[in-house]
């Protein structure tokens, strides 16, 4: 299982994660911060759990390019 986490309140809206992982992130028109698609919020952390292991490379790249360092990737 692939687990991606976004600490959304610290997002600076740079769009890099969307460019790196368009199947995982988009920008919100409302507040200009990144949205982690299909994720659920828990205490400020947005979590996506998926069996789509083909998204791992995109997730890892998004984690690397995020200047705020608020994207985490775990593989279980």
**Under the rule (CB under 6 A), what is the footprint of ligand SF4?**
6, 11-17, 34, 66-68, 70-71
| C-beta of 37 vs 68, nearer to ligand SF4 | 68
Long-range Cβ pairs for the range 15-21 (8 Å, 24+): 16/62, 16/65, 16/66, 16/67, 17/62, 17/65, 17/66, 17/71, 19/65, 20/58, 20/61, 20/62, 20/64, 20/65, 21/55, 21/58, 21/59, 21/61, 21/62
| C-beta of 50 vs 72, nearer to ligand SF4 | 72
CB of 20 to ligand SF4, least distance (A): 8
| C-beta of 11 vs 73, nearer to ligand SF4 | 11
CB of 66 to ligand SF4, least distance (A): 3
């Amino acid at each position: 299982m692939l687990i991606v986490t976004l600490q959304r309140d610290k997002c600076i809206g740079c769009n890099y994660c969307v460019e790196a992982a368009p199947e995982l992130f988009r920008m919100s028109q409302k507040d200009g911060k990144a949205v982690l698609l299909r994720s659920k919020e828990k205490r400020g952390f947005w979590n996506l759990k998926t069996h789509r292991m083909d998204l791992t490379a995109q997730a890892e790249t998004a984690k690397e390019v995020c200047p705020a360092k608020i994207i985490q990737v775990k593989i279980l």
